[in-house]
Amino acid sequence: MEIKRDMSVSLSGVRLDNPVIPASGCFGYGYGMSEFYDINILGSISFKGTTREARYGNPLPRVAECSAGMINSVGLQNPGIDAVIAEELPKMRAAFHKPIIANISGFSIDEYVECCEKITGEEQVEIIELNVSCPNVHGGGMSFGTSAESVAEVVKAVKRVVTKPLYVKLTPNVTDIVSIARAAEDAGADGLCLINTMLGMRINTATRKPVIANVMGGFSGAAVFPVAVRMVHQVSKACSVPVIGCGGVESAGDVVEMMMAGATAVEVGAANLRNPYACKEIIEALPAEMERLKIEKLSDIIGIV
């Protein structure tokens, strides 16, 4: 008798049919991909990082391929929170009928609060993902996410205005990821997402100039996977809120490994940019991977290591 494999998971009461989520910035708003396959196969979608004002992003060139990964410095290109709510969300919901994760970015606490207050009232959105990797323009330009105090301050401010589960996406560019994660949890975060991109740089030796106009950018792809697994494991052991694992995920085996490390769900980022069908192929391969490893329910393996 064939065993039915249960791939469903729950994030703060929000049920996902499977744990696979395209990461913010790597899948747009999803509806564009619906021309290629039924995106409702996905567990959820985290849409492009959204700020108060429309942003063109950083100067070109802003993407560079590397061995086992890529560097990007896109700079949060987006149409702004009001346009996302008025134009993008309706188109997204018309194509995607499952839970939507809103990735919110900001350069001041006021901006985070304003954007989150607006998005929390949208019924299409079921989880808010706070990107704290942005430079704090009122705090000397350091990323909010590199300071436990800054993380706590922004989370507390946002929690006062949101009615949806609030997940905080953490930067790996810190000495002690656990202290940052605990600060977010203690401030009221309902969940955590990690890791965001690492900081990288490449040089064109022929021109003797950086390949990215912004000099440095976010390094992502398969090369960062072991770092992401390590940090997910550390944080899931230290905190009691759910963790979304992200960073270098490229296969069904990677999803299982990330969940064993402590992730309840898994975001797939750079793999989508190389192969638009990456998430679809991972989801379709999961049942066979579960069978191979004798896993009946994916939720049973969360944090077993």
What DSSP letter does each residue of 188-214 carry, written as one string?
T-SEEEE--PEEE--EETTTTEESSTT
pLDDT band at 2 (very low <50, low <70, confident <90, very high): low
Structure tokens of 200?
């990288």
pLDDT tens, position by position, 214-247:
999 999 999 999 999 999 999 999 999 999 999 9
Q: How buried is 141 (Cβ within 10 angstroms: 0-12 exposed, 13-18 middle, 19+ buried)?
A: exposed
Q: Rounded to an integer, what distance in angstroms lies between the CA atom of residue 153 and that of residue 155?
A: 6
Q: What pLDDT was estimated at residue 37?
A: 96
The confidence band for 67, taking pLDDT boundaries of 50, 70 and 90, is confident
**15 to 7, 10, 43, 94, 295: CA distances (angstroms):** 11, 4, 9, 20, 19
User: Contact, 195 vs 208, CB < 8 A?
Assistant: no
Paired tokens of 138: 């009122």
Predicted local distance difference test score (pLDDT) of residue 146? 94
Distances (CA, A) of 140 to 28, 156, 234, 267: 30, 20, 29, 31
CB 50 within 8 A of CB 84: yes
- pLDDT (mean) for 86-100: 97
Of the pLDDT bands very low, low, confident and very high (cuts 50, 70, 90), residue 137 is: low
Could you tell me which residues come within 8 angstroms of residue 300 by beta carbon, excluding any fewer than 6 positions away?
none
Q: What is the mean pLDDT of residues 96-110?
A: 96
Per the listing, tokens 């190389």 go with: 274
Catalytic position from the list 26, 115, 116, 134: 134
pLDDT, tens only, 245-275: 999 999 999 999 999 999 999 999 999 999 9
Q: Which residue has the tokens 């991909």?
A: 33
Q: Which residue has the tokens 């985070």?
A: 112
State the distance between the two ends of the chain, measured CA to CA, in whole angstroms.
30
Tell me the C-alpha distance between 269 and 24, whole Å.
Answer: 7
Both structure tokens of 11: 């994030």
Q: Across the chain, what does the average pLDDT equal?
A: 95
Tell me the mean pLDDT in the region 130-137: 81
Q: Given this model, what pLDDT does residue 154 score?
A: 96
**Residue range 3-51, pLDDT digits in tens:** 789 999 999 999 999 999 999 999 999 999 999 999 999 999 999 999 9
Name the CA dihedral angle for 84, 89, 92, 96, rounded to a multiple of 10 degrees.
Answer: 140
Q: 56: pLDDT confidence band, cut at 50, 70 and 90? A: very high
What CA–CA distance (Å, rounded) separates 104 from 102? 6
> Is 136 within 8 Å of 107 (Cβ atoms)?
yes
Using CA atoms, how far apart are residues 254 and 104, in angstroms rounded to an integer? 26
- Report which secondary-structure segment, H or E, holds 110: helix 109-120
Q: Say if residue 163's pLDDT is above 80.
A: yes
- Examine the pLDDT at 1 and tell me if it is beyond 60: no
CATH number for the segment(s) 9-57+75-197+224-301: 3.20.20.70
Rounded to 5°, angle at Cα 224 from 60 and 254: 120
Active site residue 193: no
d(CA 25, CA 272): 10
Q: What angle do CA 124, 127, 130 make, to 5 degrees?
A: 125
DSSP 162: -
Closest CA to 200 of 70, 11, 33: 70
